[in-house]
Amino acid sequence: MKKYPWLYLVLILIFVLGTLIFLSPLLMTQEKFPSWPIKQKLNLGLDLRGGVQIVLEVDTKDLKSDLSSAVDNNIEIIRNRIDQFGVAEPTIQKMDEKFIVVQLPGVKDPLSAEELVTRQAFLQFKLVADGEVTEKVINQTSENVQRNLNLFPALAKLEKEDQAMRDSLGLADSTRVEQGIFRSLIGTSQNDYVVKQTDIDLMKALLQDSNFQQLVPKDHQFAFESIGARTDQGKGPRTIYVVSRNAQLSGDLLDNARMEIGASTAQDPKIANKPYISLEFNRQGARLFERVTGDNVGKRLAIVVDDMVYSAPYIQDRIPEGKAIITGMFTRTEARSLAILLNNESLNAPLIPYSSTVVGASLGADSIRSGTMAGMIGIIVVIIFMLIYYKLSGLVADFVLIFNIGFILAALTAFGGTLTLPGIAGIILTIGMAVDANVLIFERIREELDAGKTPHTAVDAGYKRTIVTIWDANITTLIAAFVLWRFGTGPIRGFAVTLTIGIVGSMFCAIIFVRAIMEKVMLTGVKKTLSI
């Protein structure tokens, strides 16, 4: 330190100022200090902050590629979606051969989170059949179903129950029997066809049945209106559309999808002051969209995502810009989630939710209290030991130890890291390791003093003869921390990161910070004694 004293002074100054600056958000909240330049906050992990943990199983039923590759690709797609959603420090990791664990700190809605990571989000634009064609498709499908009623036990049971009730009342054949049991499930409301709330589950099951799909005229298909497109959120009758089976345009030609908020002056009440999704197609998609809209003026074009119709507006005129919007009764979160899904590639293999766990904020608060209490007890015990055993030198080491702990939290804040329970364990371990280097140095200084050397000479010799041992011990620990980070996942990585920062900080504090204080404060002038 005698060769370049100014360099060490600058390093200490940077260390102290950096620690204080990046710790400041813990004390200076944005509400009280809105102009404070440092906005970063220390991120808390799932175990401290609360959030959602979802375990997903990869559906291998129709998997054509390698399972391991499909899982890895799904993890990347999920990571991209979550990063755009704005979740701080999510944990996404593989478990066993076909399971993926997703931890989302701070997320409170497990259903929205589950939908974000599991949905395929296939976007298609399909023409809606006009009233005459729709009626023809419904009637033809009903006739086909009636002839093959044995393939649909739920429909057969419903027909028998309905007829038995009418027989007991002495009534003629039921409307269901006269029209056909399938046709009786579909009613009308204004210009649309609807399914009653009580029959929605039955109709959903039919639409997913491969036998039923073969009985629908090959050029058309049925598609439910999305619940997100409705004001009642699915509590009343639900619109069902007959759309062309072949898409006029698909999402692979999409260039960008984003959530926007309509202006209060917008003429369309569906977007005024409401979130909607703006779509922009690439050059090829724009040309195709212009042709489709130009050739079908006056018809309805359904915007279909995962076989659900989000909107089916009438085409008023040719649209040359290659732009469209998806409207609906979205919340901002729902609209942003759908935009993210449309912007990302689809999953390589479907994901089935295996389990979903909500970690409450109260549990996180208990963990913080327990971890803070353990840390405080560890700090107090170390401080008392160093103060009693090494006197004034121990007090210096205690003072620097506080800065070392602050440095760990400041570094996590500065680099956007996340503090978890294992991270708190890493801090507590660092407390013990931080004074270990000081203990080695102080004991060596004592030996030099007992040998009759002056305090200045003893301090120089103490540092020179222990520094190699300190480097060896800390480097081996750093290697172990790197291995934990490289091959570990989730909380293990958090522990490794915290431990690494703590080791770097403790080495700086022991070798440079403590020595600088001792030389500038305790060894000024011609000192013949040293409190150690």
In this structure, the answer to whether residues 165 and 106 fall within a common structural domain is no
pLDDT tens string 237-279: 899 999 999 999 888 888 888 888 888 777 777 777 888 888 8
Q: CATH number of the domain that 108 lies in?
A: 3.30.70.3400
pLDDT of residue 215: 94
In this structure, the answer to whether residues 131 and 27 fall within a common structural domain is no
In this structure, the answer to whether residues 127 and 249 fall within a common structural domain is yes
Whether 529 is in a domain gets the answer: no
Whether 531 is in a domain gets the answer: no
Domain boundary (296, 313, 343) is at 343
In this structure, the answer to whether residues 80 and 106 fall within a common structural domain is yes
Q: CATH number of the domain that 463 lies in?
A: 1.20.1640.10
* Cα distance between residue 287 and residue 130, in whole Å: 25
In this structure, the answer to whether residues 369 and 500 fall within a common structural domain is yes
Cβ count within 10 A of residue 24: 16
Global model pTM greater than 0.75: no
Closest Cα partner for 296 from 323, 322, 317, 321?
Answer: 317
Whether 498 is in a domain gets the answer: yes
pLDDT of residue 243: 96
pLDDT of residue 174: 47
DSSP-assigned letters across all residues of 237-249 = -EEEEEEESS-SE
* Cα distance between residue 502 and residue 479, in whole Å: 14
Residues of the chain with pLDDT under 50: 33, 174-176, 229, 231
Domain boundary (300, 329, 359) is at 359
pLDDT of residue 35: 58
Containing 188, the helix (H) or strand (E) segment is: strand 186-189
In this structure, the answer to whether residues 380 and 337 fall within a common structural domain is no
pLDDT of residue 48: 73
pLDDT of residue 527: 64
In this structure, the answer to whether residues 181 and 276 fall within a common structural domain is yes
pLDDT of residue 175: 47
Q: Please give the distance of CA 26 from its chain centroid, rounded to a whole number.
A: 24
In this structure, the answer to whether residues 237 and 297 fall within a common structural domain is yes
Q: What's the domain range around 17?
A: 5-42+360-522
In this structure, the answer to whether residues 302 and 178 fall within a common structural domain is yes
* Cα distance between residue 241 and residue 194, in whole Å: 8
* Cα distance between residue 171 and residue 177, in whole Å: 12
Count: domains in the chain = 3
pLDDT of residue 171: 57
In this structure, the answer to whether residues 198 and 325 fall within a common structural domain is yes
